[in-house]
A and B are shown apart, each in its own frame.
Chain A
Amino acid sequence: MIDLIINIILLTFLAITAIAIIRTTNLFATIMLFGIFSLLSATLFVVMDALDVAFTEAAVGAGISTILMLTTLALTKNHNEKRSHAHRPWLPLAVVTITGMALVYGTLDIPGFGDPAAPANTHVAQYYINNALPETGVPNIVTAVLASYRGFDTLGEVAVIFTAGVAVLLLLGGKPSSPNSNPRTNKKREEDET
């Protein structure tokens, strides 16, 4: 019961933080709020028994991604977002409300939170829980499934991370090309002018 109460309180906090994130115009404050959002989600993952996920979210969401966003902010030197009048809130709000209502209608059939008889918890999950220790000798079922039963899947994920690293290196690895120092753009500009 106490789990459920903590769960509900934290979820409410999360919703409030999300609203604060969209209402803030100062980007530094937004990024800090996003760090808080990640830390709150890590806490919530602990409440929902997902220790490995909480661990990752605390290290990645509150640590690395906040630092990366701050570095981007330092590079773009743009600390306040502009709210121009071209963005009228009514159309996006309508789209979001209608989509949200459709999704809420979809949840009415979902088995309740924590239902042990839900279809998601009865098929392959029971196999993993019963057989992970005898078959692999690893008590942490998450590690056993991650590395052994679904090893091929994880290989794909590692390849995706590697590809993202290569792509960032391609985009940012070289010398920054400022418009005045790059001879090619200068030449092109001179041609344009003549």
Chain B
Amino acid sequence: MDFIISHYNYWIVIFLMMVGLYTVISRGNLIKKIIGLNIFQVSVFFLYISMGTVKDGAAPIITEGVKLYSNPLPHVLILTAIVVGVATTALGLALVVRIKESYGTIEEDEIHEMDHSL
């Protein structure tokens, strides 16, 4: 039971990661694919933050009388990764808008059909 509780975080992380991967593979809509990539991304954030959490630790802001802090390093890495993530998501969405403008659709199979017919 203890083993399940102490590893529950990692299993949910893997579940979310696989949900994201499944969305990217199986859905043809480009906006849906980007949402899938974002779910995948958030699952990686959780992996890092879960590893850095310390039981009964405080948030890593030094306060008098607190002895145990959580690991600040994953927080730093993920903090920047989130903002970089939204910038790259915006880039992906910009590509989707341009694809819509030149193909008239954002469904993957319709785009494939158009390209083969050329």
Contacts A30-B32, A60-B85, A82-B28 given; 4 further ones with Cβ under 8 A? A41-B45, A76-B100, A115-B55, A168-B94
* Residues of B contacting A: mostly: helix
Which residues of B have CB within 8 Å of A107?
7, 10-11, 14
Q: Report the contact-size class of chain A (Cβ under 8 Å from the partner).
A: 35 or more
Which residues of A have CB within 8 Å of B89?
65, 68
Task: How many A-B residue pairs have C-beta atoms within 8 angstroms? Tell me.
Answer: 274
Chain B 1-41, CB within 8 Å of chain A: the 1/0 string? 01101111111101111111111011111011011101100
State the B residues within 8 Å of A (CB). 2-3, 5-12, 14-23, 25-29, 31-32, 34-36, 38-39, 42, 45-46, 49-63, 68-76, 78-80, 82-91, 93-98, 100-101, 105-107, 109
Given contacts A75-B100, A104-B14, contact A57 B27 (CB under 8 A): no
Which residues of B have CB within 8 Å of A53?
45, 49, 75, 78-79, 82
CA distance A93 to B21 in the complex (A): 10
Listed from nearest, the 7 A-B pairs whose CB atoms lie closest are A112-B6, A114-B55, A164-B87, A81-B29, A49-B70, A92-B25, A92-B26
